[in-house]
């Protein structure tokens, strides 16, 4: 350690450009060229006095301009260039600061302004490199500050005569200097805080470790010098530190600077955390724009609304324009304004931004006040319905009534129409006709398989990817608030307990009293659906939830008869397909008998969808034929007529035989009538046989529980009335004794259920045990009770139509189904089928079973009642 006594009072000067070396601080000076030779000369002078252990130089800061604290010095031709590399290094427990020699060539000639204070420095190390351009690296350690008394130049080296101001090494303040004690206390705590926070100032870790070590061990004046070199201070402040000879004043100044720097650090950190240190370019821009906006607002220059999001200006302006054009309801407007405000505050790349943006888009697209012109012209509607559909008189009549009421009353607060019928009978196309007759937009919503309430009402916006439900989505798509909405397959809504009840959500939609304030979860504001004309379709009313059914007026569209199908094919389907294939009407000609063959042998359905498809294949075939011949220049050989014989070639083998599969009557075989859930009717063969066994009943043919129970009831009834029916010789004899009964329903892969086969099953068993046949042209349907009463069943029209198709001549029906026949069955069928209405099973047996060989009828159940009393 250098003592002040060892430092001479005359020292060679090394002027440092705009840098200040303080005692205890180590600096590295790299010079080359002329400056290096000056430094070498200086070092020689410094080492002249061999009695001293070390060489000392005077490091003096050079000021930019002259003042009363500067001394003019002529460096006598010596100058320093800018090659000096600046860096910080650590040496023992001292540290080096950036240093640079006077670099201005001109200043050396005109003389430089040296500060009147400087720092005596010990030369710790000198490194010379012998390359072309001589470079000298000096490590200097500040020892004590001095005041320059006089400057001299000898042999091109500037020397200064100085007065030293040695450092005080006291660690503590004396007891009577209370003021100094306070300053010292503050200095210590601040320096500790400062060093702990220095990491944030991005100072080298090694330097921090060094400072942390000396903070408590070094004398305060020495620490103050070190800190003053690290703290961000101006050159003038550093000069002030250099010239201050009072330790207390120096500590006070360092305290001030540390407080200032800590404060700046705090603010920077605060700003950093506000703005989020990792702001990418776009976010920073957004942040600044927000500030700009706030400033503009403050200045009352709000500017145009869209300026908030920069690049998204156009998008937001467009959105605002769309929202204005949508003429929202009052409630919607309030929400839209609020959301728009929010959107402007959000960052475009945030997830929330796109959520709000999509929401506003949906709002803007909804037809809040867009209405298409309503032209309910009953005459025109009638013409339209006639033009599009053959038959369906009841449905057409009801539709016209409905439209008349809407026209006269002016609102749609009438029950919603629901078309019920098997597939392909024209439910959807009737809906379309209504839309075109009234000049309204048509939108179809398929409800088949909808199992979640949210499908109807949408998801709340809190869900990721939430969207409006089917209704609001449909409104958005149709673009007007008075479209015709066809709610297709309303009977196929799935009732689940997990996701809410979608049918319950439909209640609000379909209730004319409530649907003016329909609230979708996503939209969360009421939307008026009262102008929408809802029409529902279903295949069967059985599965429509009761409260929904209650709000609808059911119009049945049962299947078509052969005659009706023929007519539809001739007048609607064939011309339509010819048109769609780009041919003219005289290019395809299908005679009635051919069409009938297609209807009977190639399609089996209640509606006409398959028929239409089959006709389309024929037209396609003719189209290819015509194109081939045309290419071969032999178009004149083209034959437009399709013959019955051609069908096999065009359509392949016929798919269906005529539905009566048995050609002769056999005991135990009966024709029942069935009705499937899809709305199709059909004939249902029942075959019963018996064999030696233990009286068991075996049932096969994919049967459900209800139909199995019907079979048990039938067998029980036959067993209990076997004697009355003269099937056994004694009332106590078991007819099924020692034999098993097997009942089979052919078409085993098709599942069957329901109670309507009850009378057919009973008849089959009686026929089996009595040996009397049921004619193969007789069919029957009806539920049976254990006491032999016959109860009514559903699907009469479909059943009768399928019976007609199958060539049945006699149909036995429950008496209470008579009204269905009179209202639903076309006259042509009524004429060709004999209907027998029955109240109990004895009437069924009388009507079904043939006479025996003696020409006698079977004993009727009327007798049975009397016999029962003898049992
Ligand atoms: N009475 C009819 N007159 C003319 N064309 C008809 C008639 N009935 C049905 N069609 C035609 O049959 C085709 C099928 O009809 P549509 O799609 O309306 O059946 P749907 O009853 O709605 O069937 P689904 O229940 O399967 O939806 C349509 O091309 C339609 O034009």
SS (H, E, C) 367-431: CCCCCCCCCCCHHHHHHHHHHHCCCCHHHHHHHHHHHHHHHHHCCCCCCEEEEECCCCCCHHHHH
pLDDT (0 to 100) of residue 455: 86
Give the Å distance between the CA of 521 and the centre of ligand 1: 35
In the chain, DSSP finds a helix count (H) and a strand count (E) of 30, 28
Global ipTM: 0.96
C-alpha 70: how far from its chain's center? 75
For residues 831, 837, 843 and 848, what is the CA-based torsion angle, rounded to 10 degrees?
40
Each domain of the chain, given as residue ranges in start order, spans 4-165, 178-275, 281-365, 378-556, 562-633+640-651, 669-870
Q: Kindly state the helix (H) or strand (E) to which residue 629 belongs, with its residue range.
A: helix 609-631
- pLDDT > 90? residue 817: yes
Instruction: Identify the architecture of domain 562-633+640-651 in CATH.
Output: Orthogonal Bundle (1.10)
Q: What angle do CA 10, 15, 19 make, to 5 degrees?
A: 125
Nearest protein Cα to ligand 1, atom 3: 389
Tens of pLDDT, residue by residue over 723-743, are: 888 888 888 888 888 889 999
For residue 814 and ligand 1, the question of a CB distance below 6 A is answered with no
Q: What separation in Å is there between the alpha carbon of 235 and the centre of ligand 1? A: 94
Give the β-pairing of 641-642 and 589-590: parallel
For residue 96, the cross-strand partners are: 26
What's the gap in Å between 500 CA and the centre of ligand 1? 33
With 90 as the cut, is the pLDDT of residue 319 above it? no
Known binder of ligand: residue 422?
Answer: yes
697: confidence class by pLDDT, cuts 50, 70, 90: very high
Q: Find all residues with CB under 8 Å of 383, minimum gap 6, and list them.
A: none
- The reply, when asked if residue 427 is annotated as ligand binding, is yes
| Average pLDDT score over residue span 612-623 | 92
> Could you read off the pLDDT of 11-27 as tens digits, one per residue?
888 888 777 888 888 88
pLDDT digits (tens, 9 = 90+) for 192-212: 888 777 766 666 666 777 777
Q: How far is the CA of 619 from the centre of ligand 1 (A)?
A: 19
Nearest alpha-carbon partner for 151 in 72, 213, 235, 216: 72
Q: Is 151 helix (H, G, I), strand (E, B) or coil?
A: strand
Report which protein residue has its CA nearest ligand 1's atom 30: 426
Verify whether ligand 1 is closer than 6 Å to residue 565 (CB atom).
Answer: no
Q: Which of 49-58, 290-299, 432-441, 555-564 has the lowest mean pLDDT?
A: 290-299
The share of the chain scoring above pLDDT 70, in percent, equals: 84
Residue 425 near ligand 1, beta carbon < 6 Å:
yes
* Range 283-307 average pLDDT: 65
User: CATH homologous superfamily for 378-556?
Assistant: P-loop containing nucleotide triphosphate hydrolases (3.40.50.300)
Q: Where are the alpha helices (DSSP H) in 511-559?
A: 546-550
CB proximity list for 339: less than 8 A, separation 6 or greater: 356, 359, 360, 363
Confidence of residue 869 (pLDDT cuts 50, 70, 90): very low
Q: What is the CATH number of domain 4-165?
A: 2.30.130.40
Mutation to probe ligand 1, out of 387, 393, 428, 429 (largest number of atoms < 8 A from CB): 429
* Alpha carbon of 452 to ligand 1 centroid (Å): 28
Rounded Cα distance, 530 and 547, in Å: 19
Kindly report, residue by residue over 701-720, the tens digit of the pLDDT. Answer: 988 899 999 999 999 999 99
Instruction: Write down how long the chain is.
Output: 871
Alpha helices per DSSP H over 234-329: 235-243, 247-275, 281-298, 313-325
C-alpha 429 to ligand 1 mean position (Å)? 6
Instruction: Please give the distance, rounded to the nearest whole angstrom, from the Cα atom of residue 371 to the centre of ligand 1.
Output: 29
Distance 543 CA to ligand 1 centre (A): 21
- Report which ligand 1 atom has the smallest distance to the Cα of 488: 27
User: What's the whole-number mean pLDDT along residues 159-172?
Assistant: 80
Greater model confidence, 107 or 704:
704
Q: By alpha-carbon position, which residue is closest to atom 24 of ligand 1?
A: 423
- Top pLDDT among 133 and 806 is at 806
Atom of ligand 1 at shortest range from CA of 557: 21
| Cβ of 613 less than 6 Å from ligand 1 | no
Alpha carbon distance 603, 713 (integer Å): 36
Helix (H, G, I), strand (E, B) or coil at 470: helix
Phi, psi of 447 (to 5 degrees): -100, 0
Binding residue per annotation — 582?
no
425 is in an annotated binding site: yes
Q: Whose CA is nearest to atom 2 of ligand 1?
A: 389
**Ligand 1 binding pocket includes 590 (Cβ within 6 Å):** no
Q: Which residue has the tokens 């320059």?
A: 148
The response to whether residue 424 sits with its C-beta less than 6 Å from ligand 1 reads: yes
Q: What is the pTM of this model?
A: 0.56
What is the position in ligand 1's atom list of the atom closest to the CA of 429? 18
- Do 378-556 and 562-633+640-651 fold alike per CATH? no
Among 221-230, 267-276, 639-648, the range with the most confident prediction by mean pLDDT is: 639-648
Closest residue by Cα to residue 222 from 353, 119, 103, 313: 119
Across-strand partners of 202?
Answer: none
Separation of CA 484 and ligand 1 centre (Å): 17
Pocket test for ligand 1, best of 396, 426, 557 (most atoms within 8 A of CB): 426
Nearest Cα residue to atom 10 of ligand 1? 426
Angle made by CA atoms 416, 522, 308, in degrees to the nearest 5: 135
- Give nearest CA residue, ligand 1 atom 18: 426
- Residue 81: band (very low, low, confident or very high) from pLDDT cuts 50, 70, 90: very low
Q: Do the annotations mark residue 795 as ligand-binding? A: no
612 lines ligand 1 (CB under 6 A): yes
Q: What's the pLDDT at 698?
A: 93
pLDDT at 834 over 50: yes
Catalytic residues: 756, 799
Domain 669-870 has CATH 3.40.50.300: no
Atom of ligand 1 nearest to the CA of 430: 18
Residue 392 Cβ < 6 Å to ligand 1: yes
For residue 771, pLDDT beyond 50:
yes
Is the pLDDT at 68 greater than 70? The verdict is yes
Judge if the beta carbon of residue 139 lies within 6 A of ligand 1: no
Shortest-distance atom of ligand 1 to CA 571 = 4
For residue 427 and ligand 1, the question of a CB distance below 6 A is answered with yes
**CATH topology classification for 178-275:** Methane Monooxygenase Hydroxylase; Chain G, domain 1 (1.20.58)
On the question of pLDDT at 378 being above 80, the answer is yes
CB 490 near ligand 1, within 6 Å: no
For strand 526-527 and strand 442-446, is the pairing parallel, antiparallel, or unpaired? Answer: unpaired
The first and second tokens of residue 705, run together, are 């529980």
The predicted pLDDT at position 78 comes to: 42
Read off the pLDDT band of 290 (50, 70, 90). Answer: confident
**What tokens were used for 645?**
């014989």
Cα(805) to centroid(ligand 1), Å: 20
One-character DSSP codes across 547-586: HHHHTEEEEE--PPPHHHHHHHIIIIIHHHHHHHTT--GG
Quick: pLDDT tens for 501-530: 888 888 888 888 888 888 899 988 999 888
Q: Is 204 annotated as a binding residue?
A: no
Known binder of ligand: residue 428? yes
Q: Is 569 in the pocket of ligand 1 (CB under 6 A)?
A: no
Single out the residue of 797, 792, 804 nearest to residue 758, CA to CA. 792
Q: Is the pLDDT of residue 309 over 80?
A: no
Q: Closest Cα to atom 4, ligand 1: which residue?
A: 389
Distance CA(494)–CA(44), nearest Å, equals: 103
Provide the mean pLDDT of the chain.
81
| Structure confidence at residue 304 (pLDDT) | 47
- pLDDT at 402 exceeding the cut of 80: yes
Candidates 395, 420, 424, 436: which one to mutate for ligand 1, based on the most atoms within 8 Å of Cβ? Answer: 424
pLDDT grade for 94, boundaries at 50, 70 and 90: very low
Ligand 1 touching residue 608 (CB < 6 A) = yes
Is residue 426 annotated as involved in ligand binding?
yes
* Predicted pLDDT of residue 729: 86
pLDDT of the residue at 692: 92
């Amino acid at each position: 350690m250098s003592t002040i006594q060892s430092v001479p009072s005359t020292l060679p000067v090394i002027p440092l450009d705009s840098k200040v070396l303080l005692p205890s601080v180590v600096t590295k000076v790299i010079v080359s060229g002329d400056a290096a030779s000056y430094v070498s000369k200086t070092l020689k002078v410094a080492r002249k006095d061999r009695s001293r252990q070390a060489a000392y130089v005077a490091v003096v800061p050079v000021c930019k301009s002259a003042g009363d604290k500067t001394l003019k010095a002529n460096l006598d031709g010596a100058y320093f260039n800018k090659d000096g590399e600046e860096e910080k290094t650590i040496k023992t427990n001292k540290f080096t600061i950036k240093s640079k020699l006077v670099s201005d060539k001109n200043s050396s000639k005109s003389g430089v302004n040296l500060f009147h204070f400087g720092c005596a420095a010990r030369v710790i190390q000198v490194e010379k490199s012998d390359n072309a351009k001589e470079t000298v690296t000096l490590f200097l350690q500040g020892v004590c500050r001095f005041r320059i008394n006089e400057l001299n130049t000898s042999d091109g080296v500037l020397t200064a005569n100085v007065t030293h101001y040695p450092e005080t090494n006291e660690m503590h303040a004396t007891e009577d200097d209370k003021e100094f004690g306070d300053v010292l206390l503050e200095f210590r705590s601040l320096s500790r805080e400062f060093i702990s926070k220095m990491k944030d100032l991005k100072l080298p870790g090694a330097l921090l470790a060094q400072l942390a070590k000396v903070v408590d061990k070094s004398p305060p004046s020495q620490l103050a010098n070190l800190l003053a070199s690290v703290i961000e201070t101006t050159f003038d402040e550093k000069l002030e530190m250099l010239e201050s000879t009072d330790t207390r004043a120096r500590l006070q100044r360092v305290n001030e600077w540390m407080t200032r720097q800590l404060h700046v650090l705090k603010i920077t950190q605060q700003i950093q955390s506000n703005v989020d240190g990792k702001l990418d370019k776009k976010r920073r821009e957004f942040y600044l724009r927000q500030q700009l906006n706030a400033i503009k607002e403050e200045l009352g220059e709000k500017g145009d609304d869209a300026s908030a999001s920069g690049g998204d200006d156009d998008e937001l302006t467009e959105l605002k324009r769309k929202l204005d054009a949508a003429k929202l309801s009052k409630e919607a407007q309030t929400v839209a304004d609020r959301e728009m405000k929010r959107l402007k505050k959000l960052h475009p790349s945030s997830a929330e931004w796109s959520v709000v943006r999509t929401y506003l888009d949906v709002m803007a697209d909804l037809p809040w006040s867009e209405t298409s012109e309503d032209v309910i012209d009953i005459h025109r509607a009638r013409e339209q319905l006639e033009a599009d559909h053959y038959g369906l008189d009841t449905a057409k009549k009801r539709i016209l009534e409905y439209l008349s009421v809407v026209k006269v009353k002016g609102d749609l607060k009438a029950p919603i129409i629901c078309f019920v019928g098997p597939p392909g009978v024209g439910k959807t196309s009737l809906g379309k006709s209504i839309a075109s007759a009234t000049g309204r937009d048509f939108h179809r919503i398929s409800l088949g398989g909808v199992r979640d309430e949210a499908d109807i009402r949408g998801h709340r916006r809190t869900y990721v990817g939430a969207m409006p439900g089917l209704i609001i989505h449909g409104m958005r798509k149709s673009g007007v608030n008075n479209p015709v909405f066809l709610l297709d397959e309303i009977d196929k809504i799935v009732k689940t307990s997990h996701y809410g009840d979608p049918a319950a959500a439909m209640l609000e939609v379909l209730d004319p009293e409530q649907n003016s304030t329909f609230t979708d979860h996503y939209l969360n504001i009421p939307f008026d659906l009262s102008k929408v004309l809802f029409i529902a379709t279903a295949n069967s009313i059985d599965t429509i939830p009761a409260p929904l059914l209650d709000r609808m007026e059911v119009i049945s569209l049962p299947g078509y008869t052969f005659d009706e199908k023929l007519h539809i094919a001739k007048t609607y389907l064939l011309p339509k397909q010819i048109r769609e294939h780009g041919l003219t009407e005289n290019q395809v000609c299908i005679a009635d008998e051919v069409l009938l063959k297609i209807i009977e042998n190639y399609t089996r359905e209640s509606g006409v969808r398959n028929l239409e498809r089959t006709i389309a294949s024929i037209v396609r075939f003719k189209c290819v034929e015509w194109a081939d011949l045309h290419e071969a220049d032999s178009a004149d050989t083209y034959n437009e007529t399709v013959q019955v014989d051609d069908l096999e070639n065009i359509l392949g083998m016929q798919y269906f035989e005529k539905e009566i599969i048995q050609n002769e009557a056999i005991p135990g075989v009966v024709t029942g009538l069935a009705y499937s859930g899809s709305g199709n009717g059909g004939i249902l063969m029942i075959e019963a046989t018996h064999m030696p066994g233990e009286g068991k009943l075996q049932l096969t043919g994919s049967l459900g529980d209800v139909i199995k129970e019907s079979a048990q009831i039938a067998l029980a009834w036959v067993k209990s009335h076997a004697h009355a029916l003269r099937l056994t010789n004694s009332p106590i004899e078991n007819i099924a004794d020692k034999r098993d009964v097997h009942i089979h329903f052919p078409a085993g892969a098709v599942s069957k259920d329901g109670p309507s086969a009850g009378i057919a099953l009973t008849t089959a068993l009686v026929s089996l045990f009595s040996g009397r046949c049921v004619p193969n042209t007789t069919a029957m349907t009806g539920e049976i009770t254990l006491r032999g009463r016959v109860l009514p069943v559903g699907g009469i029209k479909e059943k009768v139509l399928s019976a007609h198709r199958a060539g049945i001549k006699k149909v036995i029906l429950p008496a209470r189904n008579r009204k269905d026949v009179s209202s639903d069955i076309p006259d042509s069928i009524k004429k060709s089928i004999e209907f027998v209405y029955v109240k109990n099973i004895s009437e069924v047996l009388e009507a079904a079973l043939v006479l025996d060989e003696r020409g006698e009828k079977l004993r009727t159940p009327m007798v049975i009642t009397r016999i029962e009393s003898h049992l």
